Structure 1
Amino acid sequence: GGIPSARVLALVVLCAVAARTAAMAFNRWLDRDLDRANPRTRGRELPSGVLRPDHVLALVVASSLVFIVGAFALNTLSGWLSFPVLGVLLSYSAVKRFHWLAHGVLGLSLALAPLGAWLAVTGSLEGDLRVPLALAAAVLLWVAGFDLIYSCQDAEHDRKSRLHSIPARFGVARALQLSSLLHLFTVLLLVLVARSAHLSWIFYAVVAVASVLLVVQHRIVRPGDLSRVNVAFFTLNGWVSVVLFLGTALDLAVHSPGGPL
């Protein structure tokens, strides 16, 4: 149905920023003692004393309220669904304390974004949901896959602290193999998105570029050498998201009947 109104786009961005802020701040608040015991994370703001726990918790509450109010401003259904969505977003930090599927919960947290965007624009979950569902599944597997890579560097610490993760439970080598498999299915799901949404060769081209970036990150991170985890986790996955966004925008601009070009 064309490009959403400026109001809807602004509210979607507001909700996304507020939700991410709430989730990240809650993670830092809940994990502050664990971060203090981990040599990799003890320099973070809470363990190092730069920020006070009550201030961070206040940020969680404020961001959560902004998210809820923004969701209700979009439409009533978005508003009511913001509560269980917020529950999922905040649950990731707790899940790793009792189950190694925490990576999937993190993936689910971000996978809710495409469905939330659909709901924000349409006001319902009716109609042909193949595209948002396929995109949500792709995001879930992509995020879970790169979180597996990132968590490999804490496998030993997780075992000592009795935290649950796939690298700690099954080993780094198997975690990296599973990550590769998840990213393979991510690419296949992106192709399904292209077919379902009738996108052009432009989107297929950016999916190919994203695939190369995913392959590179799996080649530079090895069970015996985790020195380039941050490059894989932050840099390469950052470029994956940028490439996919720009490619999608360009595809719609050039080929959509209501596109600006």
Structure 2
Amino acid sequence: MKKLKIILEMIKFEHTLFALPFAFLGAVLGSLIVEGSWPTLFEWLWITLAMVGARSAAMALNRLIDAKIDKDNPRTAERAIPAGLISKSQSLVFISGSFLLLFFSAFQLNILSVYLLPVAVFFLTAYSYTKRFTWLCHVFLGVTIAIAPLGGWVGTTGTLYPEALLLFLAVAFWTAGFDVIYATQDAEYDRRNGLYSIPSRFGIARSLKIARSFHIVSFVSLLCLFFLSPLGWLYVAGVFIAGAIMVYEHSLVKPHDLSKVNVAFFPMNGIISVVMLLFTIGDMIL
């Protein structure tokens, strides 16, 4: 249990909050649009467990794959694997268990969820390598996280509609935007060590502008969802609140002052995902 606690701290288990509300949003929206009903308790359960398994496997893999990089980076040298708090074999056991949870949960939902498992596993595994060859690694991470709302939609409906793809686009660029902000902390380290990122390629000032443009795409995508779905004014209010939080998030980080990156990264983005879920469900109830 002590080792498990260390692993959960290592993968920032609480950051599951980023993607889980959007998985629920995809489940609720898909179920109401396609089937005219709410997800069943059975579907809520297996979608939740699938998300926990997917994110836990991906983050533990990321820490395992990046162990050497983390050890050489002063900001990350104290992470569990480079610090020797857990072994690589213990991490592999946890990763295997997490993937098993994902697979078992998908099999409890529907056949399309099972068919799409290889795609999900590819992105969950491959994104950790992208920083080694492309500065578009942030977009790749965005696509990986954006599988969450698609998974929720597919899990409840066994289908894919244009609305699901708009939600996918919104989450992908929202994630890419805040990941660019987070990566500004390592811009100089990445540049010196041949790692690829938008901050190491374009500099911090231009990177923050790119992050803003990503978030504009995300905001517009969420707004367009209103025109393609039966969502109403309360959903739109949630979109504008999320947009205002994004603006505030960017106001916290300056090219010459990155001291508030962590505040911009976790609290703000956690609030955005919860706001979007609550306002969407509230709109549907009304």
What value does the CA root-mean-square deviation take over the aligned residues? 1.0
Shift of 1:13: 0.5
Shift of 1:41: 0.8
SS of 1:74's equivalent in the other structure is coil
Which of 181, 184, 196 matches 1:149?
A: 181
Which of 200, 212, 229 matches 2:244?
A: 212
Matching of residues 236-255 of structure 1 within 5 Å = 236-254=268-286
Partner of 1:139: 171
Structure 2 alignment gaps of length 5 or more: 1-35
Matching of residues 52-131 of structure 1 within 5 Å = 52-125=87-160, 129-131=161-163
Shift of 1:77: 2.1
**How many angstroms apart in 2 are the aligned matches of 1:184 and 1:87?**
28
Partner of 1:259: none
Q: What percentage of residue pairs aligned between the two structures are identical?
A: 42
**How many angstroms apart in 2 are the aligned matches of 1:229 and 1:35?**
19
Q: Report which structure shows greater RCO (CA 8 Å, sep ≥6).
A: 2
Partner of 2:51: 16
**How many angstroms apart in 2 are the aligned matches of 1:75 and 1:199?**
26
Shift of 1:43: 1.4
Shift of 1:80: 2.4
Matching of residues 26-37 of structure 1 within 5 Å = 26-37=61-72
**How many angstroms apart in 1 are the aligned matches of 2:43 and 2:249?**
35
2:233 counterpart of 1:198: no
Shift of 1:198: 2.2
Q: What amino acid is aligned across from residue 201 of structure 2 in structure 1?
A: R
**How many angstroms apart in 1 are the aligned matches of 2:140 and 2:183?**
14
**How many angstroms apart in 2 are the aligned matches of 1:57 and 1:170?**
35
Residue 139 of structure 1 contacts residue 186 of structure 1 at CA under 8 Å; is this kept in 2?
A: yes
Moved over 6 A (4+): none
Q: What amino acid is aligned across from residue 243 of structure 1 in structure 2?
A: V
Q: What amino acid is aligned across from residue 209 of structure 1 in structure 2?
A: I
2:201 counterpart of 1:166: no
**How many angstroms apart in 2 are the aligned matches of 1:141 and 1:230?**
19
Partner of 1:49: 84
**How many angstroms apart in 1 are the aligned matches of 2:142 and 2:209?**
17
Shift of 1:234: 0.7
**How many angstroms apart in 2 are the aligned matches of 1:234 and 1:135?**
21
**How many angstroms apart in 2 are the aligned matches of 1:77 and 1:188?**
29
Partner of 2:25: none
SS of 1:155's equivalent in the other structure is helix
Shift of 1:94: 0.6
Residue 73 of structure 1 contacts residue 79 of structure 1 at CA under 8 Å; is this kept in 2?
A: no
Deviations 1:20-75 (A, max 9, x none): 00000000111111111111111111111111111011111111121112112211
Shift of 1:160: 1.6
**How many angstroms apart in 2 are the aligned matches of 1:199 and 1:118?**
16
Structure 1 alignment gaps of length 5 or more: 255-261
**How many angstroms apart in 1 are the aligned matches of 2:129 and 2:96?**
17
Q: What amino acid is aligned across from residue 56 of structure 2 in structure 1?
A: T
Shift of 1:93: 0.6
Question: Number of matched residues?
Answer: 251
